[in-house]
Structure 1
Amino acid sequence: GTSLEDTAKIADEVMERVGGIKDIEDVGGLVASASMMGGGQSESNSISFYATTKEKPSLSNEQLKKEIEKVTKDLGGELTINMSNMDMSALGSAGINIQIKGKDLDRLQKVAKDVKKIVEDIKGTQNVSDGTEDNKEELRVIVDKAKATQHSLTVAQVYQEISGKLSQAKTATTLSTDTDEYDVYVLDDANESMTREDVRNLTITAQKQDGTKEEVKLADIATFEDASGLQAISRMDQSRYMSVTAEIKDGDNIGLVSSRVKKALGGYSAPEGYEIKMTGEDETIMEAMVELFKMLALALVFMYLIMVAQFQSMRSPFIVMFTVPLAFTGGLLALYIAQMPVSVIAMIGFVMLSGIIVNNGIVFIDYANQLIENGMEQREALVEAGKTRLRPIIMTALTTILGLSTLAVGVGMGADMVQPMAVVTIGGLIYGTVLTLFVVPCIFNLFHKKEKARLREGIE
């Protein structure tokens, strides 16, 4: 309800304060619209700002967000801040998004309010919204069909008459000049300043069967009620829906909060014909995770088959594959130390790691097999393989670790986008490489002990 002039004053103050932050290079603002593609109605009391940072900002995105909130907290109005940090772990809308489908709009709003209250009580959520905060008060006209019929009127005729009186002025003609074109509007002053009381006192022209006309007061054939109406009606799959959204508090995890929300919603019984579904970031991440697990499983299968072809054996590749869980343990430890969640981009790091870490095992096992084939004792062969292959194993791991070190530290613009992937890979390589030199020889020896035992039984 705020005028454009009042909003502009606050907007100028916001631009001045945000522009004064050391990492902000440029700030721009424009009157917001309901749709970025040009659809919907523009709002005079809402303005969107776009701020760009310097090439090498000293503050992280979260720190910058807090700084903007700090400098604008005493201003009147509602301020929502979204940071574009190219975080591939999100891959969708931010935070929690719950979709409620149904037919009746009033019932939808009631369910949305219930869901909003549930989500507000859950640990880790903030700024919960059901989309009704911007609702506008509306006057509903309920026509009595029986009373309207007595005056030879249908419900459609009544609404058509009301719509004609309430409709906005349209272009009557266009005046063209040498420099420009001007639209001409015809305004009805009586209807232009119409109030709710005027709507109640409207008269409808009804035509009787004998051809005469009758003026019927709207209040005689209809009832009125004040209600709250949505600014827009959203539809998906030929069904109306409303969304309840919530942001995740700093320091909390989207996966943990989503689990709490699902558990809480499980105890809520929705009316028949209404569906409550989790969408948004949680749904996107879960879908991406499922696909990445499939990719990881396929990668492990292909690696095993390739090594079977290389070693001409089913057992040696199986021993090499023990390096993969060692590397994954190191990757998880690295994420824990860096205080990063297991995100989609981190999972891509695990897929990469599974292909890199087996190189150490291949180098070690292949050389140990060669020494055994040349007549060396098994224990001596393992010790010799460890000594001889130590340098190439460390060099292989070290080149990858050093190559990813700048990404892991997060140096440069957009580095935080792939930082979890680098952290996982480096952690997995360090941990996996060190333990490969101890675990793989033990497993190799264990498998071959069983083989020797079988051979002895066969000789006896």
Structure 2
Amino acid sequence: TVEDALLEEPSVTGVSTQVGYEPGGHYLGARGALDVNQAELAVSLTPRTAREETMWAVMDRTRALLREIPGVTVAVVKEKGGTARSTTAAPIDVRLSGPDAGLLDALGDEVYARLQAVPGIANLYKSWALDTPQIDVALRRERAAELGLTGKAVAAAVYRALEGEAVTAYRQADRRDLDVWLRYAQADRDDLTALQDVHLRGANGASVPLREVAELNVRLGTRVVTRENFQKTQDVLGFHYGRPLSDVVADVRAALEGMETPAGYRIELGGEQSDFQEARGRMLRALAMGIFAVYLVLVAQFRSFKHPLTIMVAVPLQFIGVAAALLIAGKYLSMPALLGIILLTGTVVNNSIVLIDYILARRDQGMALHQAIRESVSVRYRPIMMTAFSDIAGMLPLALEMAVGAERFSPIATVVIGGILAATLLTLIVVPTVFMLLEQARVAAEKPLPLRT
């Protein structure tokens, strides 16, 4: 079985299986399985410190394992828990919307076939499909009205025949009462002819068979049809492996190009990449606002527009270290990395403030420009480096992922370490140089022009 195969994994400590779902669980929390031929398995792993491989390596091996088990047609392997990534349905999400469920399902099949050819996609599946046999009861309204029957009464009679109704209770002396349900036998529930003979009570009390007021047909349907903005939607979802998500999404866009959709139907690409792009825009706006706020504070502090600009030269220097740190650590630009960049913006300017403030103080005492710059770097070098290395030392445990769950936020520490290291070293060279050039330009501009006779 699937459980036995999973328990043979050395990193797996336990497997919990759920067939079916609690009311509201599937719709609100995407928990449980809809049909009796579906199951949801929650797999518990050993602590990360007790295994050498990552959770994602175990997931990749589990996908390959499930492909070898007979009878498993769709196997979706994803992480679960209170993490940012687990709240997204899937990294790749192609959403189709339109008025007709049948046409949506056909379009979903075409999208599914196109995405299967994209390298790097795993666990491709549709959010729902028209594959469940259902009984369609088409009411003959005029005939029903003649017999004094309403659609509600007909639906209630069919429900009682199929699902049953509590007709009495079995009383027990020392236990709670047990409801006694009455419904059609299984053989009659499976027989469409028998269901057509369900008796209804007309307005005059006469018994009327269901076939008199309704037509029953078996058709393929689904237990769940999702909607958004009053439009039916279907999602084709998948996970990525072996390639960066951005590259896979680019190939998905190329695969969907040229796909024709009828009027009133739309295809949108969502998922983790779409969420990241949306959040990245907000983060970049926050970064710009942070840089501007720092500049305004410096203007108020130095009572100058020029010196704060010299100090802000340290901000772009941090990106050299950020890029190098991400490259060395093998990490991508992610939301935690963007948070680290915003954090750096208010940190890397501190060294520039210390240098410029010392230079200005010595200049006010009458010291020459070059001498003030040399003394500033010489005197402030040690405290600047001590501050930088203390910040780096504090971030090292997170960057090295020494704690369980640190994988999520290690890009923050990686970015901060690289940015502080590069900005600190370059600030000692670039900021004094820029200050000297601006001061020389100011002196040259204030120098009076020679008179000509």
TM-score bin, normalised by smaller chain: 0.7 to 0.9
Letter of the 1:105 partner, please give it: A
Q: Does 1:57 align with 2:30?
A: no
Instruction: Give the Cα–Cα distance (whole angstroms) in 2 for the partners of residues 171 and 52 of structure 1.
Output: 41
Which stretch shows the higher mean deviation, 31-40 or 447-456? 31-40
Cα pair 1:89 1:343 within 8 Å, conserved:
no
Of the three residues 156, 166, 171, the one matched with 1:171 is: 166
Displacement of 1:239: 2.4
The residue aligned with 2:184 is 188
Distance 1:31 1:230 in 2: 18
Q: Deviation string for 1:323-382 (max 9, x for gaps)? A: 111102211221122121111111000001111111111111111222222223222322
Per the alignment, residue 349 of structure 1 pairs with: 340
The answer to which of 337-346 and 84-93 deviates more is 84-93
1:221 Cα offset (Å): 8.7
Q: 1:458 to 1:351 in 2, by over 3 A?
A: farther
For 1:33 and 1:27, locate their aligned partners in 2 and report how far apart those are by CA, in whole Å: 17
> The residue matched to 1:46 in structure 2 has which SS?
coil
Name the structure 2 match of 1:251.
Answer: 243
CA deviation map 1:57-103 (0-9, x unaligned): 32211122234445555433243322247654675333112222222
1:140-151 paired onto structure 2 within 5 Å: 140=136
Amino acid paired to 2:56: E
Q: Secondary structure at the match of 1:172?
A: strand
C-alpha change, 1:222 and 1:331, in structure 2 (3 Å) is: same
Q: Deviation at 1:269?
A: 3.5
Shift, 1:138, TM fit: 3.9
Aligned-partner residue type, residue 436 of structure 2: N
- Does residue 39 of structure 2 align to residue 47 of structure 1? yes
CA RMSD across the alignment: 3.6
Whole-angstrom CA distance in 2 between matches of 1:402 and 1:331: 17
Higher relative contact order (CA 8 A, sep 6+): 1
Say if 1:88 and 1:345, in contact at 8 Å, map to a contact too: no
Aligned to 2:228: 236
- In the alignment, the residues of structure 2 paired with residue 63 and residue 362 of structure 1 have an alpha-carbon distance, to the nearest angstrom, of 46
Quick one: structure 1 residues 329 and 34, their matched pair in 2 at CA, closer, same or farther if it must change by over 3 Å?
Answer: farther
Match for 1:33 among 13, 21, 24? 21
SS in 2 for 1:310: helix
In the other structure, the counterpart of 2:12 is 24
Report the CA distance between 1:384 and its aligned residue. 2.1
Q: Are the aligned partners of 2:135 and 2:216 in contact in 1 as well (CA < 8 Å)?
A: no
Trace 1:7-22 onto structure 2 (pairs within 5 A): 10-14=1-5, 16-18=7-9, 21=10
Q: Helix, strand or coil: the match of 2:39?
A: strand
Aligned equivalents of 2:274, 2:403: Cα separation in 1: 30
| Distance change (3 Å), C-alpha of 1:351 and 1:259 | same
With the length of structure 2 as denominator, give the TM-score of the two structures.
Answer: 0.84
Q: Select the residue among 437, 441, 444 that pairs with 1:446.
A: 437
* Equivalent residue letter for 1:47: A
Partner of 2:115: helix, strand, or coil? Answer: helix
Q: CA deviation at 1:139?
A: 5.4
Contact 1:357 1:432 in 2 (8 A): yes
C-alpha distance in structure 1 between counterparts of 2:159 and 2:57, whole Å: 54
Query: Who is 2:122 aligned against?
Result: 126
Q: Output the amino acid matched with 1:96.
A: I
Seen in structure 2, the aligned counterparts of structure 1 residues 74 and 244 have a Cα distance that, compared at 3 Å, is closer
1:101 corresponds, among 97, 100, 113, to: 97
| One-letter code aligned to 1:75 | I
- 1:48 corresponds to which letter in structure 2? E
Per the alignment, residue 428 of structure 1 pairs with 419
Report matched runs for 1:44-443 at 5 Å: 44-55=36-47, 56-58=49-51, 59-69=53-63, 73-76=67-70, 77=72, 78-84=74-80, 88=84, 92-132=88-128, 135-138=131-134, 140=136, 160=155, 163=158, 167-177=162-172, 178-189=174-185, 192-196=188-192, 227-253=219-245, 255-265=246-256, 267-443=258-434
Separation (CA, whole Å) in 2 of partners of 1:305 and 1:459: 39
SS of the aligned residue for 1:113 comes to: helix
- The one-letter code sitting in structure 2 at the alignment partner of 1:122 is V
1:383 deviates by 2.1
**Where do 5+ consecutive residues of structure 2 fail to align?**
none
Stretch moving more, 419-428 or 45-54: 45-54
Q: Are the aligned partners of 2:149 and 2:203 in contact in 1 as well (CA < 8 Å)?
A: no
Secondary structure of residue in 2 paired with 1:342: coil
Distance 2:297 2:178 in 1: 74
User: Helix, strand or coil for the counterpart of 1:396?
Assistant: helix
- How far, CA to CA, are the matches of 1:359 and 1:238 in structure 2? 53
Amino acid at match of 1:170: E
- Decide whether the 8 Å contact of 2:165 with 2:182 is kept in 1: yes
Q: Deviations over 1:118-159 (max 9, x none)?
A: 33333432322223457213455667889x79x989995997
Question: Within 1, Cα distance between the matches of 2:450 and 2:425?
Answer: 39
| Structure 1 CA distance for aligned equivalents of residues 233 and 222 of structure 2 | 12
Amino acid at match of 1:61: M
Letter of the 1:167 counterpart: L
With normalisation by structure 1, the TM-score equals 0.83
CA distance in 2, matches of 1:41, 1:87: 22
Question: In 2, are the aligned partners of 1:136 and 1:231 still within 8 Å (CA)?
Answer: yes
Q: 1:198 to 1:250 in 2, by over 3 A?
A: farther
Query: In 2 relative to 1, CA 44–144 (structure 1 residues): closer, same or farther, beyond 3 Å?
Result: closer
- Contact 2:3/2:15 (<8 A) preserved: no
Q: Alignment partner of 2:407: what SS?
A: helix
Contact 1:207 1:214 in 2 (8 A): yes
1: CA distance, partners of 2:293 / 2:156: 72
Q: Which moved more, 1:371-380 or 1:443-452?
A: 371-380
